[in-house]
């Protein structure tokens, strides 16, 4: 065919077709989406420190393993309270003259999603040792260690943030581990990664593909489905209090043998779970896990029972109804 | 040789089977037990329908046979009988003559109507049965009990049909035997009656021909073979037991312009360096999954090294190798020299500079924002872009001056891919449309077009040249190649956002991407069919060639790997596989299985032409097998493990449990990766041998040289 034997016509046609499709599926949608989306009114812009922390997040390639998107499917509910919406990304602008807008959504979840990490894990006392070596707090983690964000000093100076590192992770080095400004900036960024509330009256997008109720439980109508306390503990509590319930010396208190946990009256324990706790100098601040993660009374009861009966703890089990009543009275 | 074929077929089979098996496994286990039983039912129904169709076809062919027999009864005899006589065997001819000399002879009816009636009844019943089963397929009820009942009803129906077929077969056989017996009697009658010298002579001659046999020494002897045309080469007088089969050596071709040759070899040499560098980094990253504390140096931390690996193998290895081969193909199929070798050198410098700088910058923590494959900051990627632009100009001007009338299909693919690579780089680096969600949409577009429009199109162009060349026959269909070309542009361009299914980019855009992914079946099927049909009729060349196995593996992964991408794009599969290592396995199946294997095939085909030297076949074989086995070790455990991982996430298990789960699969990945890495060492050695290696001393050459030498020394005395 004549058309195919004319290089001008052939290559121009191919190029035009490609350009046309590019404009239709890439450039136009990209421009439309950056125009029509604005940050949510409730969204708090990143602080100066957090902006620097974001730059560190980018330059160390954290996006290779961490996503920042809660997909609109039920299985992603653990990462955020609602599916991410376009407005969540509207504040993400070009970094500087040399660098493009940061890619945050990510395509790999080798590590946990971070879209709502500021809510899920607000404690700098957790983040700092975790950055020094993730295996301090999560034994099975395969995340790289970032010791270069810390310095080791013989003596603390004024304003230094000391990080409590267990002996085995010091690799024979002596001295106090101090977080550098960069480490604090990175943690500030992580702490500020929170899902903003949608404006009043805006319905939250739904999580699709909801789990079907388990068949085993429907066989006994009326019976309360048995919650897996160990799994809930592992999802919500373990990163600080550890699988053995012993916590981390100088950072997170042990639950094993804890007076609060063993108390016959579960009220104080429930209060701490629901509202957090920050009273002791020697331990980090505890977030309001129960409220933040929207745990249901039955789930809280399961977690409490797991804690009250594991690692040698031997206290009475609480019921979901009891917890539900107590939660009401706490409010 | 047979055995190695069997092994190859086995591996090919495994490669085809395992992804599909995993897909099925995922489809089944991803859903609840309801879906499981419906899949079971669907399979059963499909089997039953298959049985019905088969029986209908069988009955049809049987009825045809019967009508043949009927015709025999009605038609005239002569033509038929002489046919029988022509096909007598030697013994029958003997018997005939014996009879003729002795003169002595002998001579029933069947009930056709009943048989026919019976057959019709069977056909009817078969039809009703099939309509019944198809109706049950249509209304797939979800109640388990009803499904089981339906299956239970269908099973005896199918059994009954099979039984009926057996019965009909028996009846037909009895009828046919009877008919044949009668026909035989009629033939005997005919033979008795005819006479004639002509027939006898013909039969005698036929018998003589049939009795002919070889005396078993036609091909042996003590005399040297007459070989006027010089066709016998590499004659071996002593049979030895080879460790590996010897492959054909590269054919000697007229030398090409040494200047161009030097440029191409530099491209391929740089590519080899970047392959070694990039995969060493990749190997190290694979180890980090198993031993995260192997080092704690900022420049070597996982997040910084990962883009070093991907960019080095993309822009350093694959792009340079493609361009090197392209610089040979484009002028060759245009039938004129390359317009400017100098511009080619500039491309080489610029791309090397861009990969060197880019790698250093990434390790130093300076990147473009983390978008995959555009991690180099713009001043560095600009070098690459200028290099490509120079190549585009060079190629276009060469093609414009071509002496052939048509533009060979290779040049369609190659030029288009260079143009598109420039377009996507510009789109990806211009900041105007990159805020907020715009960045994500551009990222989805860019990362996928980089793979599909740059690597895939260019490599296909190379295959369209080298595959027919190595098979020494034209490409099966030019039209299929053209179809694949336009279909690829049409569908591939729109599929980028399938990396962000269920994210906050517009739902419609996600749907378009999924539909486009399905559309990719067209170019992939067309391309695969074209390549395989080109192989067709020349399969015998496969065992004796060391380049064709690379092509074949590339074609197989082109089909399986690309269609796996289609399967991954669906929403249902995204639930399980998205964010897991499945994506990593897929990208290695495609970038490595397709692109690398094709490139190696092209390099092993081309370099001996340029340098006149070949690589040792044993190390080429080692390269091939280590790369292939390594790839399978790498990808299959990863796909399996990440399927389990996805299911675990769906079940809401703690995230860290999924990390623990993956540990053995990551170990397998590291093992597979090590094999792949080892194969690259062999490849680099082969390149070294092809460039600088000196062949072992040949006795004949040595003798001639000696003669020349002594001639030169003795001459003055004469």
Q: What is the pLDDT of residues A302-313, one digit of tens each?
A: 898 899 888 988
B571-593 per-residue burial string, b: 16 or more CB within 10 A, e: under 16: bebbbbbbbbbbbbbbbbbbbbb
CA B404 to chain centre: 30
Q: CA-to-CA distance for B673 and B286, rounded, in angstroms?
A: 7
Query: Quick one: residue A131, left, alpha or beta (phi over 0 = left, psi -120 to 50 = alpha)?
Result: alpha
Contacts of B31 in chain A (CB under 8 A): none
Contacts of B288 in chain A (CB under 8 A): 142, 144
First to last CA, chain B: 56
In chain A, the number of structural domains is 2
Is there a domain that residue A36 lies in?
no
Under 8 Å between Cβ of B115 and B66: yes
- Residue B77 is predicted with a pLDDT of 62
- Cα separations in angstroms, A46 against A184, A191, A197, B209, B621: 14, 10, 16, 97, 57
Q: Which two tokens stand for residue A124?
A: 């700098």
Residues A231 and A316 placed together within one structural domain of the fold: yes
Question: Of A168, A192, A216, at which residue does a domain stop?
Answer: A192
- Residue B165 is predicted with a pLDDT of 83
Q: Which of A32, A21, A83 is nearest to B512 (CA)?
A: A21
Confidence check: pLDDT of A180 > 90: yes
Of B292, B486, B505, which has the smallest distance from its Cβ to A143's Cβ? B292
Q: Which two tokens stand for residue B662?
A: 């993956």
Question: Domain residues of chain B, as ranges?
Answer: 31-209
Number of Cβ within a 10 Å radius of residue B200: 14
CA B690 to chain centre: 27
Residues A234 and A321 placed together within one structural domain of the fold: yes
Contacts of B489 in chain A (CB under 8 A): 14, 17-18, 21
Q: CA-to-CA distance for B344 and B397, rounded, in angstroms?
A: 13
Q: Give residue B126's pLDDT band: very low, low, confident or very high (50, 70, 90).
A: very low
Is B301's CB within 8 Å of A73's CB?
no
pLDDT digits (tens, 9 = 90+) for B643-700: 999 999 998 888 999 999 999 999 999 999 999 999 999 999 999 999 987 766 777 7
Phi, psi of A265 (to 5 degrees): -90, 115
- Residue A92 is predicted with a pLDDT of 92
- Residue B132 is predicted with a pLDDT of 39
- Residue B376 is predicted with a pLDDT of 96
- Residue B706 is predicted with a pLDDT of 80
Confidence check: pLDDT of A229 > 70: yes
- Residue B73 is predicted with a pLDDT of 64
Which of A74-78, B147-151, B179-183, B318-322 is least confident?
B147-151
Q: Going along chain A, which residue ranges are E strands?
A: 150-153, 162-163, 176-179
The residue in chain A having the minimum alpha-carbon distance to the alpha carbon of residue B425 is A22
Which of A1-5, B539-543, B606-610 is least confident?
A1-5
Q: CA-to-CA distance for B259 and B342, rounded, in angstroms?
A: 10
- Calculate what percentage of chain B has a pLDDT beyond 90: 58
pLDDT digits (tens, 9 = 90+) for B93-103: 888 888 777 76
pLDDT digits (tens, 9 = 90+) for B299-335: 999 999 999 999 999 999 999 999 999 999 999 999 9
Pairing mode of beta strands A150-153, A162-163:
unpaired
Contacts of B296 in chain A (CB under 8 A): 144-148
Q: Locate tokens 């009828």: which residue?
A: B175
Name the average pLDDT for chain A. Answer: 88
Domain with A102, as residue range(s), is 48-192
Confidence check: pLDDT of B539 > 70: yes
3-state helix, strand, coil in chain A (%, to 5): 45, 5, 50
Q: Give residue B336's pLDDT band: very low, low, confident or very high (50, 70, 90).
A: very high
Residues A175 and A231 placed together within one structural domain of the fold: no
- Residue A10 is predicted with a pLDDT of 95
In this structure, which long-range contacts are made by residues B145-152, counting pairs with CB atoms below 8 Å and at least 24 apart in sequence?
A: B147/B37, B147/B38, B147/B40, B147/B41, B148/B37, B150/B41, B151/B41, B151/B44, B151/B45
Average pLDDT score over residue span B225-241: 74
Confidence check: pLDDT of A322 > 90: no
Chain A closest-CA separation from residue B209 CA (Å): 54
Confidence check: pLDDT of B216 > 80: no
Q: CA-to-CA distance for B530 and B476, rounded, in angstroms?
A: 6
Q: Which positions ≥6 away from B56 have C-beta within 8 Å? A: B123, B126, B127, B130
Of B407, B436, B649, which has the smallest distance from its Cβ to A10's Cβ? B407
Confidence check: pLDDT of B150 > 70: no
Q: Which two tokens stand for residue B115?
A: 């048989």
- Residue B153 is predicted with a pLDDT of 67
Which of A121-125, A193-197, B502-506, B680-684 is least confident?
A121-125
Please report, for the domain that includes residue A278, its CATH number: 1.10.760.10
- Residue B394 is predicted with a pLDDT of 97
Burial, B189: exposed, middle or buried (Cβ in 10 Å; 0-12, 13-18, 19+)? middle
Q: Which positions ≥6 away from B577 have C-beta within 8 Å? A: B26, B568, B583, B642, B643, B646
Residues A147 and A281 placed together within one structural domain of the fold: no
Average pLDDT score over residue span B434-459: 95
- Cα separations in angstroms, A152 against A176, A184, B297: 5, 15, 16
Of B374, B441, B485, which has the smallest distance from its Cβ to A33's Cβ? B441
Of B304, B440, B499, which has the smallest distance from its Cβ to A61's Cβ? B304
Contacts of B419 in chain A (CB under 8 A): 11, 14-15, 18
pLDDT digits (tens, 9 = 90+) for A11-24: 999 999 999 999 99
Q: Give residue B12's pLDDT band: very low, low, confident or very high (50, 70, 90).
A: very low
Q: CA-to-CA distance for B304 and B359, rounded, in angstroms?
A: 9
- Residue B24 is predicted with a pLDDT of 42
Three-state SS at A140? coil
Average pLDDT score over residue span B417-431: 96
Best interface-test mutation with B: which of A144, A151, A299 has the largest number of B CBs within 10 A? Answer: A144
Q: Which positions ≥6 away from B442 have C-beta within 8 Å? A: A26, A30, B371, B427, B428, B433, B434
Confidence check: pLDDT of A113 > 50: yes
Confidence check: pLDDT of B230 > 50: yes
First to last CA, chain A: 80
Is there a domain that residue A149 lies in?
yes
Q: CA-to-CA distance for B437 and B444, rounded, in angstroms?
A: 11
Question: Of A139, A171, A192, at which residue does a domain stop?
Answer: A192
Q: Which of A304, A311, A221, A205 is nearest to A264 (CA)?
A: A304
- Residue A312 is predicted with a pLDDT of 87
- Residue B187 is predicted with a pLDDT of 83
Phi, psi of B703 (to 5 degrees): -65, -45
Is B423's CB within 8 Å of A19's CB?
yes
Average pLDDT score over residue span A147-152: 95
Under 8 Å between Cβ of A60 and B304: yes
Dump the DSSP string for B225-254.
PP-TT----S--SS----SSPPPPPPPP-P
Phi, psi of A277 (to 5 degrees): -160, 135
Under 8 Å between Cβ of B498 and B556: no
Under 8 Å between Cβ of A186 and A57: yes
Confidence check: pLDDT of A240 > 50: yes
Q: How is the beta sheet containing A162-163 ordered, strand by strand?
A: A150-153, A176-179, A162-163
- Residue B19 is predicted with a pLDDT of 43
Residues A242 and A319 placed together within one structural domain of the fold: yes
Question: Of A139, A174, A192, at which residue does a domain stop?
Answer: A192
Is there a domain that residue A35 lies in?
no
Q: Which of A41, A68, A40, A42 is nearest to A54 (CA)?
A: A68
- Residue A84 is predicted with a pLDDT of 94
Which of A60-64, A143-147, A250-254, B578-582 is least confident?
A250-254
Give the single-character DSSP code of A248.
B
Q: Give residue A81's pLDDT band: very low, low, confident or very high (50, 70, 90).
A: confident
- Cα separations in angstroms, B295 against A70, A148, B287, B291, B437: 32, 12, 11, 9, 36
Three-state SS at B29? helix
Q: CA-to-CA distance for B352 and B358, rounded, in angstroms?
A: 10
Rg (Cα) of chain B, in Å, rounded?
A: 34
Is A37's CB within 8 Å of B579's CB?
no
Phi, psi of B314 (to 5 degrees): -75, -65
Q: Which positions ≥6 away from B565 have C-beta within 8 Å? A: B517, B520, B586, B590
Of A83, A100, A212, which has the smallest distance from its Cβ to B32's Cβ? A212
Q: Which two tokens stand for residue B558?
A: 């082109």
Q: Give residue B7's pLDDT band: very low, low, confident or very high (50, 70, 90).
A: very low
Average pLDDT score over residue span B457-485: 95
Is there a domain that residue A21 lies in?
no
Chain A closest-CA separation from residue B528 CA (Å): 22
Chain A closest-CA separation from residue B707 CA (Å): 56
Confidence check: pLDDT of A184 > 60: yes
Is A89's CB within 8 Å of B436's CB?
yes
CB hemisphere CA count around A234 (13 angstroms): 15
Residues A181 and A255 placed together within one structural domain of the fold: no
In terms of DSSP H, where are the helices of B139-257? 144-193, 197-211
Contacts of A170 in chain B (CB under 8 A): none
Confidence check: pLDDT of B627 > 50: yes
Which residues are A73's β-sheet partners?
A: A208
Burial, B171: exposed, middle or buried (Cβ in 10 Å; 0-12, 13-18, 19+)? middle
Chain B closest-CA separation from residue A298 CA (Å): 16
Average pLDDT score over residue span A114-138: 92
Contacts of A26 in chain B (CB under 8 A): 427, 441-442, 445, 496
Confidence check: pLDDT of B8 > 70: no
Q: CA-to-CA distance for A151 and A174, rounded, in angstroms?
A: 11
Q: Across chain A, which distance is largest between two alpha carbons, in Å? A: 91
Is there a domain that residue A311 lies in?
yes
Name the average pLDDT for chain B. Answer: 84
Is there a domain that residue A214 lies in?
no
Q: Which two tokens stand for residue B348?
A: 């080489």
Chain B closest-CA separation from residue A232 CA (Å): 8
Q: CA-to-CA distance for A136 and A169, rounded, in angstroms?
A: 7
- Residue B141 is predicted with a pLDDT of 52
- Residue B37 is predicted with a pLDDT of 56
Three-state SS at A273? helix
Confidence check: pLDDT of B712 > 60: yes
Q: CA-to-CA distance for B531 and B459, rounded, in angstroms?
A: 13
- Residue B72 is predicted with a pLDDT of 67
Which of A126-140, B200-214, B533-547, B583-597 is least confident?
B200-214
Q: Which residue has the higher pLDDT, B130 or B470?
A: B470
Confidence check: pLDDT of A186 > 70: yes
């Amino acid at each position: 065919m004549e058309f195919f034997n004319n290089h001008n016509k052939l290559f121009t046609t191919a190029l035009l077709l490609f350009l046309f499709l590019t404009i239709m599926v890439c450039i136009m949608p990209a421009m439309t989406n950056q125009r029509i989306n604005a940050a949510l009114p409730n969204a708090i812009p990143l602080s100066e420190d957090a902006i620097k922390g974001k730059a560190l997040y980018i330059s160390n390639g954290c996006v290779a393993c961490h996503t920042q998107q809660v997909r609109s499917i039920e299985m992603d509910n653990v990462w955020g309270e609602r599916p991410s919406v376009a407005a969540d990304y509207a504040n993400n602008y070009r970094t500087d003259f040399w660098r493009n807008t940061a890619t945050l959504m990510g395509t790999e979840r080798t590590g946990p999603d971070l879209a709502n990490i500021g809510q899920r894990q607000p404690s700098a006392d957790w983040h700092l040792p975790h950055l020094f070596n993730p295996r301090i707090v999560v034994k099975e983690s395969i995340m790289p260690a970032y010791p270069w964000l810390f310095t080791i000093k013989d003596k603390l100076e004024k304003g230094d943030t000391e990080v409590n590192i267990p002996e085995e992770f010091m690799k024979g080095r002596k001295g106090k581990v101090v977080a550098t400004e960069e480490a604090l900036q990175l943690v500030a960024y992580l702490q500020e990664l929170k899902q903003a509330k949608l404006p009043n009256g805006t319905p939250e997008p739904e999580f699709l593909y909801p789990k079907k109720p388990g068949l085993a439980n429907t066989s006994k109508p009326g019976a309360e489905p048995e919650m897996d306390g160990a799994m809930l503990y592992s999802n919500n509590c373990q990163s600080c209090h550890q699988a053995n319930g012993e916590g981390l010396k100088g950072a997170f208190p042990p639950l094993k043998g804890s007076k609060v946990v063993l108390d016959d009256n579960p009220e104080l324990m429930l209060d701490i779970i629901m509202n957090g706790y920050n009273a002791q100098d020697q331990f980090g601040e505890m977030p309001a896990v129960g409220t933040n993660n929207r745990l249901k009374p039955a789930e809280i009861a399961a977690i409490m029972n797991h804690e009250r009966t594991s690692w040698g703890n031997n206290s009475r089990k609480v019921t979901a109804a009891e917890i539900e009543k107590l939660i009401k009275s706490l409010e | 040789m047979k055995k190695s074929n069997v092994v190859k077929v086995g591996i090919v089979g495994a490669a085809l089977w395992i992804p599909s098996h995993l897909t099925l496994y995922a489809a089944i286990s991803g859903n609840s037990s309801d879906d499981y039983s419906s899949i079971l039912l669907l399979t059963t129904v499909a089997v039953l329908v298959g049985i019905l169709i088969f029986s209908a076809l069988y009955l049809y062919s049987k009825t045809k046979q019967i009508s043949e027999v009927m015709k025999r009864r009605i038609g005239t005899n002569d033509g038929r009988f002489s046919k029988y006589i022509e096909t007598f065997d030697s013994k029958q001819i003997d018997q005939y003559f014996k009879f003729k000399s002795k003169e002595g002879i002998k001579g029933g009816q069947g009930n056709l109507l009943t048989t026919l009636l019976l057959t019709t009844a069977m056909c009817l019943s078969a039809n009703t049965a099939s309509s019944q089963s198809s109706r049950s397929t249509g209304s797939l009820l979800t109640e388990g009990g009803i499904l089981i009942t339906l299956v239970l009803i269908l099973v005896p129906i199918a059994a009954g049909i099979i039984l009926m077929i057996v019965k009909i077969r028996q009846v037909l056989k009895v009828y046919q035997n009877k008919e044949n017996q009668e026909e035989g009697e009629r033939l005997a009658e005919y033979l008795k009656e005819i006479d004639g010298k002509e027939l006898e002579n013909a039969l005698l001659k036929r018998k003589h021909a049939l009795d002919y046999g070889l005396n078993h020494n036609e091909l042996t002897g003590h005399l040297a073979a007459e070989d006027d045309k010089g066709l016998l080469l590499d004659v071996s007088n002593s049979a030895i037991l080879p460790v590996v089969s010897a492959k054909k050596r590269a054919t000697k071709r007229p030398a090409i312009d040494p200047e161009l040759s030097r440029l191409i070899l530099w491209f391929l040499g740089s590519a080899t360096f970047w392959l070694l560098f990039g995969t060493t980094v990749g190997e190290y990253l694979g180890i980090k999954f198993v031993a995260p504390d192997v080092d704690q140096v900022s420049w070597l931390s996982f997040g910084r090294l990962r883009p070093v690996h991907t960019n080095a193998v993309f822009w350093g290895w694959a792009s340079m190798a493609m361009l090197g081969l392209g610089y040979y193909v484009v002028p060759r199929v245009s039938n004129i020299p390359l317009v400017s070798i100098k511009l080619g050198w500039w491309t080489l410098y610029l791309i090397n500079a861009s990969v060197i700088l880019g790698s250093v910058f990434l390790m130093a923590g300076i990147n473009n924002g983390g978008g995959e494959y555009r991690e180099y900051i713009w001043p560095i990627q600009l070098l690459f872009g200028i290099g490509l632009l120079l190549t585009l100009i060079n190629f276009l001007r060469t093609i414009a001056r071509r002496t052939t009338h048509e533009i060979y299909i290779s040049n369609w693919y190659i030029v288009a891919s260079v143009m598109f690579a420039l377009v996507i780089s510009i789109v990806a680096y211009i900041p105007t449309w990159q805020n907020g969600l715009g960045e994500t949409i551009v990222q989805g577009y860019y990362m996928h077009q980089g793979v599909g429009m740059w690597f895939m199109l260019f490599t296909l162009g190379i295959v369209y040249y080298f595959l027919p060349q190595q098979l020494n026959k034209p490409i099966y269909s030019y039209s299929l190649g053209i179809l694949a070309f336009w279909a690829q542009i049409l569908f591939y361009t729109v599929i980028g956002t399938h990396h962000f299914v269920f994210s906050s980019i517009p739902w419609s855009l996600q749907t378009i991407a999924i539909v486009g992914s399905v559309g990719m079946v067209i170019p992939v099927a067309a391309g695969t069919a074209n390549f395989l049909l080109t192989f067709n009729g020349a399969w015998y060349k496969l065992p004796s060639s060391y380049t064709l196995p690379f092509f074949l593996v590339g074609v197989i992964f082109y089909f399986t790997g690309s269609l796996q991408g289609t399967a991954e794009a669906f929403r249902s599969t995204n639930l399980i596989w998205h964010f897991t290592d499945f994506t990593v396995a897929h990208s290695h199946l495609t970038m490595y299985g397709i692109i690398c294997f094709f490139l190696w095939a092209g390099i092993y085909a081309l370099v001996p032409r340029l340098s006149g030297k070949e690589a040792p076949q044993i190390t080429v074989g080692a390269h091939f097998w280590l790369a292939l086995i390594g790839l399978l070790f790498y990808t299959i455990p990863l796909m399996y493990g990440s399927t389990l991982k996805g299911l675990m996430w769906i079940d809401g298990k703690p995230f860290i449990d999924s990390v623990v789960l993956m540990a053995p699969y990551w170990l397998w990945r590291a093992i597979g990766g090590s094999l792949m890495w080892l194969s690259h060492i062999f490849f680099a050695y082969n390149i070294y041998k092809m460039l600088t290696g000196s062949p072992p001393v040949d006795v004949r050459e040595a003798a001639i040289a000696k003669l020349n030498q002594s001639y030169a020394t003795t001459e003055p005395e004469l």
